[in-house]
Amino acid sequence: MTFNKDFLWGGAIAAHQAEGAWQEGGKGISCSDVETAGNNVTGAPRRLTDGVIEGEDYPNHVGVDFYHRYKEDIALFAEMGFKAFRTSIAWTRIFPRGDEETPNEEGLQFYDDLFDECHKYGIEPIITLSHFEMPWTLAKEYGGFRNREAIDMFVKFAKVCFERYQHKVKYWMTFNEINNQADVSQHNLIQEGAVLLKKDDDAEYLMYLSAHHELVASALAVKAAHEINPDLQVGCMIGMNAVYPASPNPTDVMNALGAMHQKYWYVEVHARGHYPNHILKKFERKGYDFITEEDKKILSQGKVDYIGFSYYMSFASKYQGRNEKTYDYFSEDFVRNTHLKASDWGWQIDPLGLRWCLNWFHDRFELPMMIVENGFGAYDKVEADGTIDDQYRIDYLAAHIEAMRDAVDYDGVELLGYTMWSPIDIVSASTGEYDKRYGFIYVNYNNNHEGDFSRCKKKSFDWYKKVIATNGEDLSE
Ligand code: P53
């Protein structure tokens, strides 16, 4: 047997993509509540509006109504044999604006009930504190993580959660895919540090500044968790994609290394407690001097207990001459990898890349790891008899689980669990669509806002049930 019997098999979602009920239970407006729906077919991107504007389409306001239906959904997860369920706590249910002195009891109670429901079936909740969200007030009035005050607000939120749920939740993560912002675009700054860009802002500077504040906040949270209860395990959460050189040409090899440096220095800080030299050199060149002596001390005292990461795809990087000497990464450098097929959203399918990533982390940090997201977004078709044959999803997951098994069997990486994304259809983060589906459980609702949110099982439901029942040994249909 590759995995021991307490391996955390399960699934992962996030509050803002599933819960809906955006104004219930005293919840404040979150950044994700002002993000419109995009569309893969028309190519329309998600937009951020200045507050909630009437007539705009905000899918996260309703999600898939998990707030009201979680009991039914968790019962279905239990039927598949889940040992773990990863979700996030909506910051705005606990601190609606972010700057309040005391938390909102109704919000706290909601998560107490949710975690109790999980434990009823022996399912371990795994919790992300900030999954692409923060209170809109904190972003709009304070400038989000460009402002140091956001550190204290996050730590206050984290401490309230650790204290309240310490006997119900053991595994925590601070910021979801904290490194997504490496690609400096407005959308990513909003998702991560919730930095709202003004006309003449220097996006790159603000990215590094706000990421630094998030890393300090994360380290303070790790330290606080251990003081509150030494049993708590706090990890980081990295959006991981292998970056391969597009060819054996040394400039392409160096370009891929440069991209890895720039996309993954965040995990160095989380896991080693200090910045890697290539980033310090960059800050020196650019004259960024926001790291204080006190910050350095905090980072060294708040190293994460484990590495959580998501894995969906890999990239191939081609040197195009724009980044001579620095080999800094430009998303335009990423070219199609002709050895791989891609999803309808252009995400390249690469199971072996998952094994590569597990090794990359293990070689550097020798920390336990958790694959907290891995899944296949696709258009699903409901047949006339109501069945849904999502064989492509089974194929994707089986190949990735096999690669992860090999990483344990042959490479000896230490793995705590696997929570696939997402056991039930939810709103897509990047495009805001309902039609990009990941679930074993189908949700009857689509991009045109048609449907009644009823749930039904896809073909993959029974397949995953068997995978868990055999502890990952039997991946066949
Ligand atoms: P969607 C970009 C690239 C890879 C993963 O993504 C990403 C993103 C950001 O959107 O996000 C993670 O829904 C994220 C989840 C998200 C999931 O991947 O865009 O942590 O919130 O839903 C899948 O297909």
Residue 421 Cα to ligand 1 middle (Å): 9
11 DSSP β-pair partners: 85, 420
Centroid of ligand 1 to alpha carbon of 460 (angstroms): 21
Looking only at Cα atoms, what is the longest distance across the chain?
Answer: 65
Q: 164 CB less than 6 Å from ligand 1?
A: no
Under the banding of pLDDT at 50, 70 and 90, the label for residue 145 is very high
Instruction: Collapse the DSSP code of 476 into the 3-class scheme (helix H, G, I; strand E, B; otherwise coil) and give the result.
Output: coil
Tell me what pLDDT residue 329 has: 86
Confidence class of residue 156 from pLDDT cuts 50, 70 and 90? very high
At 229, phi and psi to the nearest 5? Answer: -160, 110
Q: Is the pLDDT of residue 322 over 90?
A: no
Q: Which two tokens stand for residue 81?
A: 């044999």
pLDDT one-digit tens code per residue, 227-276: 999 999 999 999 999 999 999 999 999 999 999 999 999 999 999 999 99
209-230 pLDDT per residue, tens: 999 999 999 999 999 999 999 9
For ligand 1, whether the C-beta of 263 sits within 6 Å is: no
d(CA 453, CA 423): 15
The answer to whether position 158 is within a domain reads yes
| Ligand 1 contacts CB of residue 98 (under 6 A) | no
Higher pLDDT, 203 or 171: 171
pLDDT single digits (tens) 13-40: 999 999 999 999 999 999 999 999 999 9
Residue type, 247: S
Q: Give pLDDT, residue 443.
A: 98
Beta bridge partners of 456: 442
- Domain extent, residue 201, equals 8-470
177 occurs within a structural domain = yes
**Looking at the domain assignment, is residue 2 inside a domain?**
no
Look at residue 370 and tell me whether its pLDDT is greater than 80. yes
- Per the CB < 8 A criterion, the answer to whether 8 and 419 are in contact is yes
Mean pLDDT estimate for the chain: 96
Rounded Cα–Cα distance for residues 286 and 275 (Å): 16
| Closest residue by CA, ligand 1 atom 9 | 430
Instruction: Decide if 476 is inside a domain.
Output: no
The verdict on residue 3 lying in a domain is no
> Is 373 an active-site residue?
yes
What's the pLDDT tens digit per position in 102-116? 999 999 999 999 999
- Cα-to-centroid distance, 1 and ligand 1 (Å): 31
Q: Is residue 451 part of a domain?
A: yes
**Protein residue closest via CA to atom 11 of ligand 1:** 429
Q: Is the pLDDT of residue 187 over 80?
A: no
pLDDT band at 477 (very low <50, low <70, confident <90, very high): confident
Per-residue pLDDT band at 184 (split at 50, 70, 90): confident
Q: How far is CA 428 from the centre of its chain?
A: 12
N-terminal to C-terminal alpha carbon distance within the chain? 20
Return the pLDDT at 469: 98
Q: Is the residue at 312 inside a domain?
A: yes
Which residue CA neighbors atom 21 of ligand 1 most closely? 429
pLDDT tens-digit readout, 50-101: 999 999 999 999 999 999 999 999 999 999 999 999 999 999 999 999 999 9
Q: Residue 204 is part of a domain; what is its CATH number?
A: 3.20.20.80
pTM higher than the cut 0.75 = yes
Given 19, 177, 268, 433, which residue is catalytic? Answer: 177
What pLDDT shows up at residue 186? 67
What does DSSP say about strands 455-457 and 306-317: parallel, antiparallel, or unpaired?
Answer: unpaired
Lookup result for tokens 């997504």: 180
- The answer to whether 281 touches 343, Cβ cutoff 8 Å, is no
Question: Ligand 1 centre from 430 Cα, in Å?
Answer: 6
Q: Distance from the CA of 372 to the center of ligand 1, in angstroms?
A: 12
- Give the residue-averaged pLDDT of 424-452: 97
Q: 380 or 329, which is more confident?
A: 380
Known catalytic membership, residue 149: no
* C-alpha dist (Å) from residue 276 to 56, 264, 280, 282, 300: 43, 10, 7, 10, 13
Chain segment 339-369, per-residue pLDDT in tens = 999 999 999 999 999 999 999 999 999 999 9
Reported confidence tier of residue 3, pLDDT bands at 50, 70, 90: very high
120 is a domain residue: yes
> Ligand 1: which atom is nearest the Cα of residue 345?
24
The partner residues of 418 in beta bridges, in order of sequence, read 9, 371
Q: How many domains does the chain have?
A: 1
Q: How many residues does the chain have?
A: 477
CA dihedral over 128, 134, 135, 141, signed as positive or negative? positive
